Amino acid sequence: MPTQFLFPHRYKRVGWVLAAGALALGLLEMYDVLHLPHLLAWLPSPIGNGDLPDVVAGRSVRANHDLYAVLLIAGSLLAACSRERQEDEYIGQIRLDSLLWALYTYSALLALAFLLVSGSAFFVVMMYALFTPLLLFMVRFQVALRRGAQAAAHDE
Protein backbone atom coordinates (compact mmCIF):
# COMPACT_ATOMS: atom_id res chain seq x y z
CA MET A 1 0.00 0.00 0.00
CA PRO A 2 1.53 3.33 -1.00
CA THR A 3 2.14 5.43 2.08
CA GLN A 4 2.87 8.81 0.54
CA PHE A 5 -0.21 10.28 2.22
CA LEU A 6 0.64 9.10 5.74
CA PHE A 7 2.03 11.48 8.35
CA PRO A 8 5.45 10.82 9.89
CA HIS A 9 5.46 8.46 12.87
CA ARG A 10 6.29 11.23 15.35
CA TYR A 11 2.78 12.69 14.92
CA LYS A 12 1.07 9.54 16.20
CA ARG A 13 1.64 10.32 19.89
CA VAL A 14 0.55 13.95 19.42
CA GLY A 15 -2.61 12.71 17.72
CA TRP A 16 -3.45 10.29 20.54
CA VAL A 17 -2.98 13.02 23.16
CA LEU A 18 -5.14 15.49 21.21
CA ALA A 19 -7.87 12.95 20.50
CA ALA A 20 -8.00 11.56 24.05
CA GLY A 21 -7.95 15.02 25.61
CA ALA A 22 -10.67 16.37 23.33
CA LEU A 23 -12.83 13.29 23.87
CA ALA A 24 -12.44 13.43 27.64
CA LEU A 25 -13.06 17.18 27.91
CA GLY A 26 -15.99 17.00 25.51
CA LEU A 27 -17.71 14.21 27.40
CA LEU A 28 -17.04 15.80 30.79
CA GLU A 29 -18.48 19.11 29.66
CA MET A 30 -21.40 17.50 27.83
CA TYR A 31 -22.51 15.70 30.96
CA ASP A 32 -22.02 18.80 33.15
CA VAL A 33 -19.13 17.36 35.15
CA LEU A 34 -16.79 20.14 33.99
CA HIS A 35 -17.55 23.78 33.18
CA LEU A 36 -14.96 25.70 31.19
CA PRO A 37 -15.30 29.24 29.80
CA HIS A 38 -16.55 29.37 26.21
CA LEU A 39 -13.29 29.56 24.30
CA LEU A 40 -14.91 30.03 20.88
CA ALA A 41 -17.60 32.55 21.88
CA TRP A 42 -15.82 35.18 19.79
CA LEU A 43 -15.97 33.09 16.60
CA PRO A 44 -18.77 34.16 14.23
CA SER A 45 -20.96 31.58 12.52
CA PRO A 46 -21.35 32.70 8.89
CA ILE A 47 -23.72 29.83 8.11
CA GLY A 48 -26.67 29.28 10.39
CA ASN A 49 -28.18 31.29 13.17
CA GLY A 50 -25.87 31.96 16.11
CA ASP A 51 -28.90 32.61 18.34
CA LEU A 52 -30.02 29.00 18.32
CA PRO A 53 -29.60 27.44 21.74
CA ASP A 54 -27.02 24.76 22.31
CA VAL A 55 -29.05 21.54 22.13
CA VAL A 56 -26.98 19.58 24.64
CA ALA A 57 -26.73 22.03 27.52
CA GLY A 58 -29.45 24.56 26.71
CA ARG A 59 -27.00 27.49 26.46
CA SER A 60 -27.46 30.12 23.78
CA VAL A 61 -23.76 30.82 23.20
CA ARG A 62 -21.30 28.93 21.07
CA ALA A 63 -20.12 26.21 23.41
CA ASN A 64 -16.76 24.47 23.48
CA HIS A 65 -18.07 21.39 21.70
CA ASP A 66 -16.99 22.95 18.39
CA LEU A 67 -13.41 23.20 19.64
CA TYR A 68 -13.48 19.67 21.04
CA ALA A 69 -14.84 18.33 17.75
CA VAL A 70 -12.07 19.98 15.72
CA LEU A 71 -9.41 18.76 18.15
CA LEU A 72 -10.87 15.25 18.12
CA ILE A 73 -10.89 15.16 14.32
CA ALA A 74 -7.35 16.53 14.04
CA GLY A 75 -6.01 14.22 16.73
CA SER A 76 -7.78 11.17 15.32
CA LEU A 77 -6.43 11.85 11.84
CA LEU A 78 -2.90 12.28 13.16
CA ALA A 79 -3.13 9.09 15.24
CA ALA A 80 -4.82 7.00 12.55
CA CYS A 81 -2.88 8.24 9.53
CA SER A 82 0.67 8.25 10.88
CA ARG A 83 3.22 5.74 9.73
CA GLU A 84 4.26 2.92 12.01
CA ARG A 85 7.94 2.61 12.93
CA GLN A 86 8.30 -0.28 10.49
CA GLU A 87 5.80 0.40 7.70
CA ASP A 88 5.69 -2.63 5.40
CA GLU A 89 3.16 -4.50 3.25
CA TYR A 90 1.83 -6.42 6.26
CA ILE A 91 1.09 -3.18 8.13
CA GLY A 92 -0.49 -1.78 4.97
CA GLN A 93 -2.74 -4.83 4.71
CA ILE A 94 -3.75 -4.53 8.37
CA ARG A 95 -4.48 -0.83 7.79
CA LEU A 96 -6.66 -1.62 4.78
CA ASP A 97 -8.50 -4.49 6.51
CA SER A 98 -9.11 -2.30 9.57
CA LEU A 99 -10.50 0.49 7.42
CA LEU A 100 -12.88 -1.88 5.68
CA TRP A 101 -13.96 -3.43 9.01
CA ALA A 102 -14.57 0.06 10.46
CA LEU A 103 -16.70 1.00 7.43
CA TYR A 104 -18.82 -2.14 7.71
CA THR A 105 -19.26 -1.76 11.46
CA TYR A 106 -20.11 1.93 11.15
CA SER A 107 -22.68 1.23 8.44
CA ALA A 108 -24.34 -1.45 10.58
CA LEU A 109 -24.43 0.83 13.63
CA LEU A 110 -25.80 3.69 11.54
CA ALA A 111 -28.55 1.48 10.08
CA LEU A 112 -29.48 0.37 13.62
CA ALA A 113 -29.60 3.99 14.75
CA PHE A 114 -31.99 4.88 11.91
CA LEU A 115 -34.23 1.98 12.85
CA LEU A 116 -34.16 2.24 16.64
CA VAL A 117 -33.69 5.92 17.54
CA SER A 118 -35.97 8.86 16.81
CA GLY A 119 -36.77 12.33 18.06
CA SER A 120 -34.20 14.51 19.78
CA ALA A 121 -32.20 11.45 20.87
CA PHE A 122 -31.48 10.85 17.19
CA PHE A 123 -29.58 14.16 17.03
CA VAL A 124 -27.34 13.06 19.90
CA VAL A 125 -26.74 9.68 18.24
CA MET A 126 -25.82 11.41 14.97
CA MET A 127 -23.44 13.69 16.85
CA TYR A 128 -21.58 10.60 18.10
CA ALA A 129 -21.81 9.06 14.64
CA LEU A 130 -19.71 11.90 13.22
CA PHE A 131 -16.63 10.59 15.01
CA THR A 132 -17.33 6.87 15.00
CA PRO A 133 -15.61 5.82 11.74
CA LEU A 134 -12.23 7.25 12.71
CA LEU A 135 -12.44 5.92 16.25
CA LEU A 136 -13.49 2.44 15.08
CA PHE A 137 -10.61 2.37 12.62
CA MET A 138 -8.09 3.47 15.25
CA VAL A 139 -9.21 0.86 17.76
CA ARG A 140 -9.40 -1.97 15.21
CA PHE A 141 -6.00 -1.11 13.71
CA GLN A 142 -4.29 -1.03 17.11
CA VAL A 143 -5.92 -4.31 18.20
CA ALA A 144 -4.89 -5.99 14.93
CA LEU A 145 -1.32 -4.71 15.31
CA ARG A 146 -1.11 -6.03 18.88
CA ARG A 147 -2.52 -9.42 17.86
CA GLY A 148 -0.04 -9.65 15.00
CA ALA A 149 2.87 -8.77 17.28
CA GLN A 150 1.74 -11.32 19.89
CA ALA A 151 1.33 -14.01 17.25
CA ALA A 152 4.81 -13.29 15.89
CA ALA A 153 6.31 -13.39 19.39
CA HIS A 154 4.50 -16.64 20.14
CA ASP A 155 5.78 -18.27 16.95
CA GLU A 156 9.39 -17.53 17.88
Say if residue 57 is in the same domain as residue 100.
no
Global confidence as pTM: 0.78
Residue 14 domain boundaries: 1-85
Smallest Cα–Cα separation from 15: which of 66, 96, 82? 82
Say if residue 51 is in the same domain as residue 126.
no
pLDDT of residue 101: 97
Q: Read off the pLDDT of residues 47-76 as tens digits, 9 standing for 90 and up.
A: 665 544 444 444 445 567 888 999 999 999
Last residue of a domain, one of 85, 106, 130: 85
Say if residue 103 is in the same domain as residue 145.
yes
Say if residue 79 is in the same domain as residue 131.
no
Q: How far, in whole angstroms, is CA 61 from its chain's centroid? A: 24
Give the residue-averaged pLDDT of 83-109.
93
Number of domains in the chain: 2
Give the separation between CA 156 and CA 149, rounded to whole angstroms: 11
